[in-house]
């Protein structure tokens, strides 16, 4: 049994991870600031579902902003029982980074540095930290080949991507200076039940069921490596349980490794929902990229991890949840 700090615990991936950790017997200390980037009621509902299924005392939630460094460090110091950290808290969303840039530096730079410093001050009690990065660090790619961890990542297409790359660089520095074991996971287009309302599959489902048109950017010529949330959680846990043998810093892609055309996703949703989409083709949005494609051979090699959920199955789970949650 471990005692694990999970940041972003009320978020989409964070809540799923907390559920999985609790199910296997771990104790979880959660952090989230419940910010209004999207409806906080959804975050509250995720936490309510978590606490309703958790063993008494196994899950504790703290409402803290990662950018409040003093409060964050005080919390980490007050819980010397923490032995690992899953740092998923961040300001997500490529497009909103054009509207609210300082929210991204606060959460993704200052907040990430706060976690690193809290781990350093634990003086070895925290044996491993796994943090969320993003496929967005690869920038715009047009050659159709898979993204590999050794590829150049010095031309991010959005401020969001730049702040997440900054987190990777800060992590590398802290490992070099203080020998803190760190693992960064570059997530590829995560989807599933309890998801984020700003993601295409959620927006499309809501619009289609209400008879509204859906907007398909780049005239629909977009390919995404859609990765089901349970596969992502399995990968996070595999990494969390296996710190770098040399105490160093490592980076992994974690995706489905099978990019799909956006119109295919829409077609699957049409079948699952029983309605036809009203499609509106739009130009590419600033900061967006035409394709993502994960090479996950390193995850397979080091952890025996590989994705198991195809897009049709995963969207089926999402639609089932949607009908149960929204009626």
- Give catalytic residues, as residue numbers: 160
Phi–psi pair at 55, nearest 5 degrees: -65, 150
Q: Quick one: which of 77, 89, 158, 92 has its CA closest to 130?
A: 89
Cα(309)–Cα(256) distance, rounded to whole angstroms? Answer: 8
> 249-254 and 27-32 as β-strands: parallel, antiparallel, unpaired?
unpaired
Q: State the distance between the two ends of the chain, measured CA to CA, in whole angstroms.
A: 37
d(CA 260, CA 75): 42
Residues in CB range of 288: below 8 A, 6 or more apart: 94, 95, 157, 158, 217, 218, 222
């Amino acid at each position: 049994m471990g005692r694990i700090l999970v940041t972003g615990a009320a978020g989409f991936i964070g809540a799923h991870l907390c559920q999985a950790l609790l199910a296997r017997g771990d104790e979880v200390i959660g952090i989230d600031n419940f910010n209004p980037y999207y409806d906080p009621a959804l975050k509250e509902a995720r936490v309510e579902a978590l606490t309703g299924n958790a063993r008494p005392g196994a899950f504790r939630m703290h409402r803290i902003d990662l950018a409040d460094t003093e409060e964050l460090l005080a919390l980490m110091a007050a819980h010397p029982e923490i032995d690992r950290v899953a740092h998923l808290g961040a300001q997500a969303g490529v497009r909103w980074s054009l509207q609210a840039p300082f929210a991204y530096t606060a959460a993704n730079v200052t907040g990430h540095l706060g976690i690193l410093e809290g781990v350093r001050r634990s003086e070895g009690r925290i044996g491993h930290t796994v943090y969320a990065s993003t496929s967005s660090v690869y920038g715009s790619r047009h050659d159709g080949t898979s993204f590999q961890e050794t590829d150049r990542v010095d031309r991010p297409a959005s401020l969001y991507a730049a702040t997440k790359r900054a987190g990777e660089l800060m992590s590398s520095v802290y490992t070099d200076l203080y020998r803190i074991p760190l693992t960064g996971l570059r997530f590829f287009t995560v989807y599933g039940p309890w998801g984020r309302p700003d993601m295409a599959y959620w927006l499309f489902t809501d619009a289609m069921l209400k008879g509204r048109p859906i907007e398909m950017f780049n005239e629909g010529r977009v390919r995404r490596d859609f990765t089901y949330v349970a596969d992502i959680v399995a990968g996070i846990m595999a990494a969390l349980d296996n710190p770098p043998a040399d105490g160093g810093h490592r980076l992994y892609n974690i995706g489905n490794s099978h990019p799909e055309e956006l119109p295919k996703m829409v077609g699957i949703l049409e079948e699952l929902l029983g309605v036809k989409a009203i499609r509106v083709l739009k130009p590419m949005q600033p900061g967006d990229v035409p394709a993502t494609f994960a090479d996950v051979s390193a995850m397979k090699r080091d952890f025996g991890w590989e994705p198991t959920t195809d897009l049709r199955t995963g969207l089926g789970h999402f639609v089932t949840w949607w009908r149960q949650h929204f009626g």
